[in-house]
Amino acid sequence: MILITGANGQLGTELRKFLDEKEITYVATDSSEMDITDKTQIRTIFEEVKPELVYHCAAYTAVDKAEDEGKGLSEQINIEGTRNLAEVAEEAGTTVVYISTDYVFDGTKEEEYTVDDLANPKNEYGRTKYLGEKIIQSICSNYYIIRTSWVFGEFGHNFVYTMRALAKTHSSLTVVNDQYGRPTWTRTLAEFMVHLTSMQAEYGIYHLSNDNSCTWYEFAKEILKDSDVEILPVNSDQYPQKAYRPKHSIMDLSKAKATGFQIPTWQESLSQFLSSLRKL
């Protein structure tokens, strides 16, 4: 049986939708059904479900809040919650799929980050997710760590929805043009998660985003290319945020591609996603 944590979040909901399409059975939990900061609750669910596989999508993802007011909660969920899950999963012989982030890197490397590059997180969110990675590696015998970046999709809040909403009330928008990365459609990520586990790929760390790279400005231009809104590029220092953002967090996808998984470009995925929104 498959168990999903964070099943009502942006990725968890997309994963459920994909598994439903594939007629793959699973048990979905969110914090109301299984609070990962409560090890006893996790153990109770494991005893009931007896999962062979856990897709660990639960996380604290409010990047700026994690710097101050949300720091304690971020540590509780991303570090201690992951430790609780890892320990119970290892006792049960369960494989864990842990979702991580490009924010484990400092963004100072000019080339693509490989799965073997040293992490050096510069914000609290990246730090807690990296510590979560280390916990999974030290406790779990069977695990996949999937680092992703710039996530967008049908469910939850994300950059695509933000840009589309702002375009309705503004004639021009300013977007940073000095941060480089790879957008990731939740659909592509969900498909890869299932691909890795179903083909029983080698355990370890993988990077998965859509192919090609861009700046946030270029991403915004593509999102709003059919609108009359003017998009103006600005530097990061003109758009200060609480949490440090890596300037260059393009991750190497070769290990994911080597599994036989076909990765669409972010432009193709964005186009497909926007088309699906028009049909809703």
Q: Looking at the annotation, which residues are catalytic?
A: 125
| AA identity, residue 119 | A
How many angstroms separate the CA atoms of 200 and 187, rounded?
Answer: 20
Tell me the C-alpha distance between 237 and 179, whole Å.
Answer: 11
Q: Is 230 helix (H, G, I), strand (E, B) or coil?
A: strand
Cβ neighbours for 194, distance < 8 A, ≥ 6 positions apart: 15, 18, 19, 22, 24
Q: Is-contact 209 183, C-beta < 8 A?
A: yes
Number of Cβ within 10 Å of residue 224's Cβ equals: 19
Contacts of 159 (CB under 8 A, 6+ apart): 150, 152, 183, 216, 219, 220, 223
Instruction: Determine the number of helices (DSSP H) and then strands (DSSP E) in the chain.
Output: 10, 12
Query: Coil, strand, or helix at residue 101?
Result: strand
